[in-house]
Amino acid sequence: MKITALEEYGLRCMVLLARQRDDDPLTLPEFATREGFSIPYAGKLLMILKRSGLVKAVRGRKGGYVLAQSPEEITLKEIFEVLGKPVFSAGYCGRYAREHEVCIHSGDCTVKNIWQTFDEFIESYLEQVTLADLASGDISPLEENGLKLQQKA
């Protein structure tokens, strides 16, 4: 299981923006310097975020990027949907079919089912954490964070 580079760095850009004043946009060189990648790469990331509507670009001399909504209104789920694909997505059956016309999935689609359930599980977490939670810096263990995992009797 892997977090892609786009997800990692894209999320960091969002955190930087969440800590910024609304009327003070962050520029591409600033993103690049503060996270250690090139300016064009920062451009690529912010372009993705902008197209999705999560951030707005301010053009001109005093321009840069600002969040489109307040950090409290943005969940990790929304950010992740923009930066990458979920564990289970529409193309799954085709992606692993290879030379076969349809997937051959160990006889039946049992593996598909586990990813689908797993994905639901993950998203139930992501949709409960906001960008404000992240920016404030105290993501706590599950139990202290409003989430609890229970074993049914």
Partner DNA sequence: AAAAAACTTTACTTTTTTGTAAACTTTTTG
Partner DNA sequence: CAAAAAGTTTACAAAAAAGTAAAGTTTTTT
Binding site for DNA (CB under 7 A): 2, 4-6, 9, 25-29, 37-38, 40-41, 43-44, 46-47, 50, 57-65, 98
150 binds, among a second copy, DNA, none (CB under 5 to 8 A by kind): a second copy
Distance between CA atoms of 63 and 68, rounded to whole angstroms?
15
Q: Three-state DSSP class for 58?
A: strand
- Look up residue 27 and give its two tokens: 């520029």
27 binds, among a second copy, DNA, none (CB under 5 to 8 A by kind): DNA
Distance between CA atoms of 24 and 30, rounded to whole angstroms?
12
Residues in the chain: 153
Site string for a second copy, 18-47 (x = CB under 8 A): -x--------------xxxx----------
Q: How far is the CB of 138 from DNA (least distance, A)?
A: 27
Distance between CA atoms of 82 and 35, rounded to whole angstroms?
20
Q: How far is the CB of 17 from DNA (least distance, A)?
A: 11
Instruction: Name beta bridge partners: 64.
Output: 58
Contact region for a second copy (CB under 8 A) — 21-29, 46-54, 61-69, 129-137? 129-137
